[in-house]
Amino acid sequence: MLRNSSRKLTSRLFSSSALRMTAAPLDASKVKISRVGTPSKPRPNDELVFGSTFADHMLTVEWTKEKGWDVPEIKPYGNLSLDPSCAVFHYGFELFEGLKAYKTPDNQVTMFRPDMNMKRLNKSAARICLPTVEPEELIKLMGKLIEQDKHLVPEGRGYSLYVRPTMIGTTAALGVSAPDKALLYVITSPVGPYYKTGFKAVRLEATDYATRAWPGGVGDKKLGANYAPCALPHQQAAKRGYQQNLWLFGPEKNITEVGTMNVFFVFKDAATGKQELVTAPLDGTILEGVTRDSILALAHEKLNSNDWIISERYYTITEVAERAAKGELIEAFGSGTAAVVSPIKEIGWKGTDIHVPLQPGKQTGPLTEQVAQWIADIQYGKEKHGNWSRTVA
Amino acid sequence: MLRNSSRKLTSRLFSSSALRMTAAPLDASKVKISRVGTPSKPRPNDELVFGSTFADHMLTVEWTKEKGWDVPEIKPYGNLSLDPSCAVFHYGFELFEGLKAYKTPDNQVTMFRPDMNMKRLNKSAARICLPTVEPEELIKLMGKLIEQDKHLVPEGRGYSLYVRPTMIGTTAALGVSAPDKALLYVITSPVGPYYKTGFKAVRLEATDYATRAWPGGVGDKKLGANYAPCALPHQQAAKRGYQQNLWLFGPEKNITEVGTMNVFFVFKDAATGKQELVTAPLDGTILEGVTRDSILALAHEKLNSNDWIISERYYTITEVAERAAKGELIEAFGSGTAAVVSPIKEIGWKGTDIHVPLQPGKQTGPLTEQVAQWIADIQYGKEKHGNWSRTVA
């Protein structure tokens, strides 16, 4: 049922995005660059806080329904000036992406699978009637933006430049309809490792009083609409001593996501000894995480299929609780661009805590640690994996 | 089940909003007013377009978690200057309200049930961790704002000043969490009747491939998050010749809302001759419309209970189709602040159109027409109804 309706929607989306392709396409070769007078000095690595200080330059491109994409501009980072009636302030016409750029030992800057983010950005845009972009042009523009601030891309494993493409509807009128004006912009922030002193496993509270996403909704898209409603369940969980909340869905209480990340569990069948890496299937309620996709691909490549089953399937908090009781729950971790993986050590559910094993003396399970290593090796240029790592500056 | 989980959420919300009451409250007496040099001349009534031209002044009030509400300012309408990393652009931290102000024959300005909008504004705010307001203070501030532009409030039945309170999260950082800074602002727009030449009944397409709201979601709140996802189903319906879409929910295909309005149906039991006015119950998936509430209250007061049943109950598109086939479907209309009521004449469903009767030579059913009259009489001061109509300027 779900898959059918989601397929139907997709075909509608394609026709809608195709229609929007007649005006001027996004064209990186037209970019105008005006640089800051005095470039900033890089901050020491240990002073970097996620997403709170920004590099010197930003990219902006205006779009109108009539003319399409205007000339891209790279200019000093600064405030946006917008009419208070703009669609973005009232009706949630906004989407974003999150990627990271890495400094390699030979002073190049690479990005990790940016084509995946561009694909998702276009799906998000089409779903809320914002314009789509030419993926390779926006990748080139991000490269040119990063080039201006190349000295601010931090060096060292765990450090990177977080890149935030954003698109907002800027039509200045209060009627609710598809915006006829939009602004695409990209800002960047030098960031350090999510866990400064190695992994720190988190405690989750399972949330059944609020629902993150639903069939026929927009939970698989990276829209602003999906985030503000998460703040209260997060705050409520934090008050009770949990760092994040675990999202459940439906009467069966399927496990879907953790906070704003995808989530994976590892079970071990007591009878056969076989392990299973499980995550929820992409049924329209799950964000199509690039890290999620990368973990699944690497697991298929690297884990021995005699010992491992890799599943995208529905599974419930009840299954997790039951298998924990039987000693069959082995590991659990969130996955996303910011932290790559985030180990889980406890899950509060119905007044008790389900314990998730960690390695002795460590804040992570063995597969979680391995997965983090696999991905970092590709991101920081130690391993090559097809064209996952792309030189952009 | 639904009612239980919604009650549970409400109690959590109250505790969360109570916590935010320690810093400075919103205080209308502190307002600073700076007026435009040359006030605008009013446009002729027939040139007014909904929400696309604005009055001369706007109200802004800044909030921080640390200090609470700052001094309210009434100042010339103008652009907002915001950091591109602000929470409102990325994570949908935004809510709004819509009200109308009416010029009475004795040159006063009244608002219709503004206390209801303030109550809903606070529920919306608490759900996404934005600050709540003191309802009477914001009503006073709206009055002071309208006073500055009193000459721009259009006269005549059907004409009014549309008032748009808006609140946005302005924390300038990319971490997803409850904003510690916010901006409350109010803009106003002189508007004419939704249907310039009397009623115009609309054709709806029933939408089952997308879902507007879900139990445990935020569909009952007036958040930006609920609106952008509606644009595509609207656009798709329009392409097939329907003015709006009718939202269905769940495998039973319950009727929930129309476009961005609540919706009412009228059935007549062929056996008993009794008529039923039906709308969906407030189960957490339905916007708590002020017009919806007013229509229900007036129907209970004015319709003879020997002839009428007034129901807030679940009903499906299948019931509508079946009762239309039996000649038991009598009327249908949307309800909201902009149009008050919006008569419906056809509903596209499974390749055919369900016909809704209209009065001969008219674009409306008899109850729809009556309801519009009841409400307009109160709004324009012809009838008094408790304190529904409040003088504000």
Q: pLDDT tens digit string along A236-279?
A: 999 999 999 999 999 999 999 999 999 999 999 999 999 999 99
Separation CA B109–CA B335 (nearest Å): 23
Q: Name the residue among A226, A383, A358, A365 with its Cα closest to residue A294.
A: A383
Is residue A3 over pLDDT 70? no
pLDDT in tens, A330-362: 999 999 998 899 999 999 999 999 999 999 999
Min Cα–Cα distance to chain B from A259, Å:
9
* Domain A202-391 classification at class level: alpha beta
Helix (H/G/I), strand (E/B), else coil: A40: coil
Separation CA A117–CA A99 (nearest Å): 7
B16 touches chain A (CB under 8 A): yes
Strand partners, A184: A61, A167
The mean pLDDT value for A317-330 works out to 98
Residue at token pair 């765990």: A158
Count of CB atoms situated within 10 Å of the CB of A181: 18
What are the residue boundaries of the structural domains of chain B, listed by start? 42-191, 202-391
pLDDT at position B22: 64
Verify whether the Cβ–Cβ distance A178 to B229 is below 8 Å.
no
CB B16 within 8 A of CB A234: no
A55 touches chain B (CB under 8 A): no
B175 touches chain A (CB under 8 A): yes
pLDDT in tens, A196-222: 777 899 999 999 999 999 999 999 999
Contacts of A349 by beta carbon, 8 Å cutoff, 6+ apart: A206, A317, A321
pLDDT at position A12: 41
Helix (H/G/I), strand (E/B), else coil: A101: strand
pLDDT at position A81: 98
Helices (DSSP H) in chain A: which residue ranges?
A: 2-19, 87-90, 114-127, 135-148, 231-239, 290-302, 317-325, 366-379
Is residue A1 over pLDDT 90? no
B194 compared with A159, residue with greater pLDDT: A159
Tell me what percent of the residues of chain B surpass a pLDDT of 90. Answer: 89
**Least confident piece of the model among A59-63, A94-98, B157-161, B261-265:** B157-161
pLDDT in tens, A107-148: 999 999 999 999 999 999 999 999 999 999 999 999 999 999
Show residues of chain A in contact with B16, CB under 8 Å. 232, 235-236
pLDDT at position B50: 86
CA closest to B213 among chain A residues: A217
Q: Name the residue among A213, A160, A53 with its Cα closest to residue B210.
A: A213
Q: Name the residue among A106, A136, A101, A105 with its Cα closest to residue A119.
A: A136
The first and second tokens of residue A376, run together, are 């970092």
A129 touches chain B (CB under 8 A): yes
Strand partners, B341: B335
Is residue A193 over pLDDT 50? yes
Between the CA of residue B11 and those of A93, A99, A212, B7, what are the distances in Å? Answer: 30, 38, 19, 6
Between the CA of residue A347 and those of A173, A245, A270, A354, B121, what are the distances in Å? Answer: 46, 9, 22, 5, 34
Best interface-test mutation with A: which of B13, B53, B176 has the largest number of A CBs within 10 A?
Answer: B176
Binding-face residues of A in 288-347 toward B, CB within 8 A: none
C-alpha neighbours within 13 Å on the C-beta side of residue A210: 30
CB A49 within 8 A of CB A5: no
Q: What kind and span of H or E run contains B368?
A: helix B366-379
CB A128 within 8 A of CB A177: no
Nearest Cβ partner of B178 from A58, A166, A235?
A235
* Domain A42-191 classification at class level: alpha beta
Best interface-test mutation with B: which of A209, A221, A230, A240 has the largest number of B CBs within 10 A?
Answer: A209
Confidence class for position A15, pLDDT limits 50, 70, 90: very low
pLDDT in tens, B37-78: 999 999 999 899 888 899 999 999 999 999 999 999 999 999
Show residues of chain A in contact with B81, CB under 8 Å. 79-81
Show residues of chain B in contact with A254, CB under 8 Å. none
CB B167 within 8 A of CB B97: no
Binding-face residues of B in 210-269 toward A, CB within 8 A: 210-211, 214-218, 223-232, 234-236, 259-260
Strand partners, A111: A101, A390
Amino acid in position B247: W
Nearest Cβ partner of A231 from B54, B178, B259?
B178
Min Cα–Cα distance to chain A from B214, Å:
7
* pLDDT winner (highest mean) among A189-193, B44-48, B135-139: B135-139
A89 touches chain B (CB under 8 A): yes
CB A142 within 8 A of CB A150: no
pLDDT at position A198: 79
Contacts of A3 by beta carbon, 8 Å cutoff, 6+ apart: A283
Q: Name the residue among A107, A112, A124 with its Cα closest to residue A340.
A: A112
Separation CA A85–CA B338 (nearest Å): 16
CB A185 within 8 A of CB A59: yes
Residue at token pair 């103008």: B78
Contacts of B39 by beta carbon, 8 Å cutoff, 6+ apart: B56, B149, B151, B152
Is residue B347 over pLDDT 90? yes
Contacts of B323 by beta carbon, 8 Å cutoff, 6+ apart: B267, B329
Verify whether the Cβ–Cβ distance A228 to B85 is below 8 Å.
no
pLDDT in tens, A153-177: 999 999 999 999 999 999 999 999 9
Count of CB atoms situated within 10 Å of the CB of A25: 13
Contacts of A339 by beta carbon, 8 Å cutoff, 6+ apart: A194, A195, A261
Mean pLDDT, chain B, whole residue set = 93
Is the ipTM beyond the 0.90 threshold?
A: yes
Separation CA B99–CA A216 (nearest Å): 30
Confidence (pTM): 0.94
The first and second tokens of residue B175, run together, are 């971490």
Helices (DSSP H) in A303-357: which residue ranges?
A: 317-325
pLDDT in tens, B365-383: 999 999 999 999 999 999 9
SS3 content of chain B, % helix, strand, coil (to 5): 30, 30, 40
The mean pLDDT value for A64-91 works out to 98
The string of DSSP codes covering A120-188 is: HHHHHHHHTTPPP--HHHHHHHHHHHHHHTGGGS--STT-EEEEEEEEEE--BS-S-S--SEEEEEEEE
